[in-house]
Amino acid sequence: MIVSVTMNPSVDISYPLSTLVLDDINRCDKVRKTAGGKGLNVTRVIHQMEAEVISTGLLGGVLGEFIRENLSSEGIKHDFSNIQGDTRNCIAILHDNYQQTEILEAGPTISTEELTSFEETFLTLATSSDVATLSGSLPKGVSKDYYSRLLSLLSNTDIKVILDTSGESLKSALESPVKPYAIKPNSDELQALLGEEVSTDYTNLSDILSHSLFDGVPLIMVSLGKDGAFAKFDESFYRVEIPSIPVKNPVGSGDSTVAGLAIGLSKRKSIEDVLKYAMTLGMLNAMEDTTGCVDKTKFDDLFNQVNVYKL
Ligand code: ATP
């Protein structure tokens, strides 16, 4: 089983408008409200691929209940810890052809007691799982190195942890004594992490992934959008080539890539196939309108068009 963690979930609201008028009333009759947050995208994609997944994290208030009901109605297993505060809304206004204006609430502040209670749930779920995914930002009240804390809780287990976060949370996890099994930065995240320009040519990426900051992390997959990915596994480097596809909405393709890594690792596939799973699901998400959504019937055809080259 795969356990997927979302520490700061949201109810995502999208308002499609032909034009956004500032300082005036904008009316919208096609509102969409979905359970959101990077970890929930990961969960949904794993579930759509019919692999076993359970979603956990922190939820509170009526929006927390909305997310629970939403997951249950899709047949997705979940076990979130309750918090006093209210789960947040994140608003995306889609307007003027392809512009997207977002309003992201910071979300509730989490108490120490609430974190302790979550950790008990997490440990119980993790002990019956072979892969854990930790995705996204951390809520207020939770220190930036909290993912290191979760990693340390699993130090005596064989569970493989895939960490998909950025900035300080990622840096502190890479510097912690217990390392994640895999990370999936995109080139912007890599740049922010290292504080320098990152050219995505393969020689440069090999040099970058040999940086001591990544020591002890077995699998690093740098996703490169339409250009596929570059990966380091143990001491070897891999270039992953993908076909050209009809793209509808690439938002969430990174989360879908993480879902693919999780499924591949959980099925104990070869590294080449793990990378192919990840890329195939990234592409399948980009081919759909809805974020965090894939069409399983197209998987095999696309999987066979992904090529992995060991350098
Ligand atoms: P996000 O933050 O939106 O979740 P990301 O920046 O983390 O995405 P990307 O590198 O954009 O991740 O995309 C992940 C994978 O999804 C790519 O490696 C590729 O397989 C697929 N993908 C994304 N965008 C495209 C595209 N335009 N064409 C083909 N494949 C794509």
d(CA 254, CA 261): 11
Q: What is the pLDDT of residue 198?
A: 85
Query: 146 pLDDT band (50/70/90 cuts)?
Result: very high
| pLDDT over 90 at 7, yes or no | yes
Q: Is 41 in the pocket of ligand 1 (CB under 6 A)?
A: no
Please give the tally of structural domains in the chain: 1
Q: Which of 42, 164, 223 to mutate to test the pocket of ligand 1 (most atoms within 8 A of CB)?
A: 223
The CATH number that applies at residue 140 is 3.40.1190.20
Which residue has tokens 């990077």? 38
For ligand 1, the distance from its centroid to the CA atom of residue 247, given in whole angstroms, is 10
For ligand 1, the distance from its centroid to the CA atom of residue 278, given in whole angstroms, is 10
For ligand 1, the distance from its centroid to the CA atom of residue 169, given in whole angstroms, is 22
d(CA 186, CA 224): 6
Q: Is 42 in the pocket of ligand 1 (CB under 6 A)?
A: no
**pLDDT digit string, tens, across residues 163-188:** 999 999 999 999 999 999 999 999 99
| pLDDT over 90 at 114, yes or no | yes
> 77 is in which domain, residue-wise?
2-310
Q: What is the pLDDT of residue 48?
A: 98
Q: Which of 12, 191, 238, 253 to mutate to test the pocket of ligand 1 (most atoms within 8 A of CB)?
A: 253
Would you tell me how many other CB atoms lie within 10 Å of the CB of residue 257? 28
Q: What is the pLDDT of residue 200?
A: 86
ipTM of the complex: 0.98
Q: What is the pLDDT of residue 82?
A: 97
- Closest atom of ligand 1 relative to the 224 alpha carbon: 10
Indicate which residue's Cα is closest to atom 9 of ligand 1: 225
Query: 297 pLDDT band (50/70/90 cuts)?
Result: very high
d(CA 193, CA 126): 28
**pLDDT digit string, tens, across residues 88-102:** 999 999 999 878 899
Mean pLDDT of the chain: 95
**pLDDT digit string, tens, across residues 189-234:** 999 998 888 888 888 999 999 999 999 999 999 999 999 999 999 9
Query: 57 pLDDT band (50/70/90 cuts)?
Result: very high
Report residue 46: phi and psi, to 5°. -60, -45
| pLDDT over 80 at 301, yes or no | yes
Indicate which residue's Cα is closest to atom 5 of ligand 1: 254
Do residues 164 and 134 lie in contact, with contact meaning Cβ atoms separated by under 8 Å? yes
